[in-house]
Structure 1
Amino acid sequence: MAGKQKQAAEALSTIEGAKKQAAIRAVEEHFDPASHKIVGIGSGTTIIYVVEAIKERGGSEHIRFVPTGFQSRQAIVKAGLTPMPFDSLAEGQLLDVCFDGADEVDDELNCIKGGGACLFQEKLVATKSKKFVCVADYRKLQPRLLTNWPSIPVEIAPIAMTSVLHALKRLGSIDPIVREGHIAKAGPLKTDQDFFIIDAPFKPLLTEADVAAGKQGNGKDGIWEVSALAHRIKLIQGVLDVGLFEGANGFEVAARGEHAGGQKPVAAYFGMENGEVLKRTAKSSKLGDKPAPPQ
């Protein structure tokens, strides 16, 4: 038993170290305390290290930080940074950058998010940011979504729970369930919007490259391409949002002349087991990217 406990502790230490190294590198390359005015801060355990790295860089007294939920706001305040509510943004104002984690990221930088139940606010902030930068550890790096992560989080109105469950099954979801709170007798988990989360398992999702190569991702036999499934789920009455971050990234949206951000990250940083950091961008989003040495 003692041996197993030691192994578990060592594995946890490796994971936390990987998160920290990824956060340091991402902040170093995408946070500019001299020019940035508004920065988005996502949710999850990895983001704690992002906030620490931002604090270490200094010069952030004039910067406002927009949280994606209660937990991220607490992290901002604890670090002595200044939070700013999302709905305080001026008309047409974009965040300089948004840092957030992910539950899984595929070859094309599509993400599954919502394991922490903040997916709606995370998507609000990402799509109001000039660039979304993803920070994660090596476990989240997979060729296709739903390889290791078991399900897609879907935020729904409580009154629509039964009808949405039925609709997800018709799309091919395998036993979708309403996420319970930490204490089962307290009932379903509530998001910051007082909505429920349905965790909907599907078969591994295809990428655009898979479809271009001739594979069918239109839902036949329960097989979907990422964006096709995201759009179909969003059309279900009662769904607030779906934890698939797909489509264009912020740079691509800007290149189209639109004044908005994108759901996908412009770059993703993965802390690896050996202490290195693997950076993947839209132009170099393959598993063979060369990791950067540890800091």
Structure 2
Amino acid sequence: MSLEMAKKIAAYKAVDDHITDNLVVGIGSGSTIVYGVQRLAERVISENLNLICIPTSFQAKQLILDNGLILGELDRNPTIDVAIDGADECDVELNCIKGGGGCLLQEKIVASCAKTLIIVADHTKNSEYLTEKYKKIPIEVTPIAYIPIKNRIESLFGGDLKLRMGGSAKAGPIVTDNGNFILDWFFDGSPTTDFDGINREIMMIPGVVDTGLFIGMAKKAYFGMPDGSVIEKEI
């Protein structure tokens, strides 16, 4: 089974297990969530479900609208029943690294408002510990402070922080939906086993908006496997 099919079966099962009528649903960002929104749209039509969908990014907003779902906002729906999102890596305790797509701030805000955060991914994102496979941690920062933040984190923890650039499609750095920059923190091995502590320390640096470390937020994860099965992990 391809990775795309693995993403699809994980997303479909999560939607089928956790979505019922009259819910406010957080819609994550990334390639796996495309399949989750497709399944939501199918069920809204076939079961006449009444759902309000809260986006985590411009991409998520467009997915909601393109699939004919009801678009909500946090100021009107500050409490979310369930949020479904992807991850770049998820460990045995369901701690995650997110932000590979640059939407980590809004993803974390929506996740923090949700009663239940569900992670959906293919099997390559399933790890024993954070940074086992995904060797960088994204950090969203205010543009004016990216050099001091880079120097501070490298001094405290080592590694190498690089400003995420737009590549051939865009001159200059990537700018998030919130007008910020992304620093990707690369390192050999793991900088620490205490990711909760490292997250708190980085968040205290002036100019850091948020990190891609989602610690203690997810309640369940679904991983699509090569054989067509879905592994479920739950806290």
TM-score norm. by structure 1 comes to 0.76
Matching residue's letter, 2:109: L
Contact 1:120 1:241 in 2 (8 A): yes
Identify the match of residue 271 of structure 1 among 199, 224, 229. 224
For 2:33, the equivalent position in structure 1 comes to 47
Cα distance in 1 for residues equivalent to 2:188 and 2:219:
26
* Percent identity of paired positions between Structure 1 and Structure 2: 42
2:106 maps to 1:138: no
The 8 Å contact of residues 67 and 86 in structure 1, kept in 2 or not, is answered as no
Is residue 246 of structure 1 aligned with residue 215 of structure 2? Answer: yes
2:223 aligns to what SS in structure 1? strand
Give the counterpart of 1:227 among 196, 213, 223: 196
Structure 2 residue ranges without an equivalent (≥5): none
Name the CA shift for 1:50/1:60 in 2 (closer, same or farther; >3 Å): farther
Q: Which letter does structure 2 place at the counterpart of 1:124?
A: I
CA contact (8 A) 2:22 2:51 kept: no
Indicate conservation of the 8 Å contact 2:22/2:50, yes or no.
no
Which residue identity lines up with residue 35 of structure 1 in the other structure? N
2: CA distance, partners of 1:50 / 1:241: 26
Shift of residue 171 of structure 1?
2.3
Which residue of 8, 12, 18 corresponds with 1:24? 12
The question of whether the paired residues in 2 share the 8 Å contact of 1:180 and 1:189 is answered with yes
**Which residue of structure 2 aligns with residue 211 of structure 1?**
none
Deviation at 1:185, TM superposition (A): 6.3
1:201 shift after superposition: 2.0
> Which residue pairs with 2:75 in the alignment?
87
1:111 paired residue number = 96
Question: What pairs with 1:57-206 in structure 2 (closer than 5 Å)?
Answer: 57-58=43-44, 59=47, 62-89=50-77, 93-183=78-168, 186-202=171-187, 204-205=189-190
3-state DSSP of counterpart to 1:114: coil
Secondary structure of the structure 2 residue equivalent to 1:191:
coil
Matched, 1:35 2:22: yes
- Which residue matches 1:293? none
Range 97-106 or range 75-84, more displaced = 75-84
Structure 1 counterpart SS, 2:22: coil
Structure 1 pair 203–110 and aligned structure 2 pair: CA distance change class (3 A): farther
SS at match of 1:109: coil
Residues in 1 aligned to 2:99 and 2:62: alpha-carbon distance in whole angstroms: 18
Cα distance in 1 for residues equivalent to 2:84 and 2:179: 24
Separation of aligned partners in 1, 2:80 and 2:231: 25
Greater fraction strand: 2
Task: Report the CA distance shift for 1:246/1:203 in structure 2 as closer, same or farther (over 3 A).
Answer: farther
Q: Deviations over 1:79-109 (max 9, x none)?
A: 11111123333xxx41110000000001111
| Distance in 2 between residues matched to 1:57 and 1:134, nearest whole Å | 19
Which TM-score applies when normalising by structure 2? 0.94
Provide the C-alpha distance between the structure 2 equivalents of 1:62 and 1:140, rounded to a whole number of angstroms: 32
Consecutive unaligned residues in structure 1, runs of 5 or more:
1-12, 206-221, 248-263, 283-295
Distance 1:142 1:204, change over 3 A: farther
Instruction: For CA contacts below 8 A with separation 6 or more, give which structure has more relative contact order.
Output: 2
Do the aligned partners of residues 74 and 175 (structure 1) sit closer, same or farther apart at CA in structure 2, a change above 3 Å counting? Answer: same
Residue 62 of structure 1: how far off its partner (Å): 3.1
Q: Distance in 2 between matches of 1:147 and 1:60?
A: 42
Q: CA deviation at 1:60?
A: 5.6
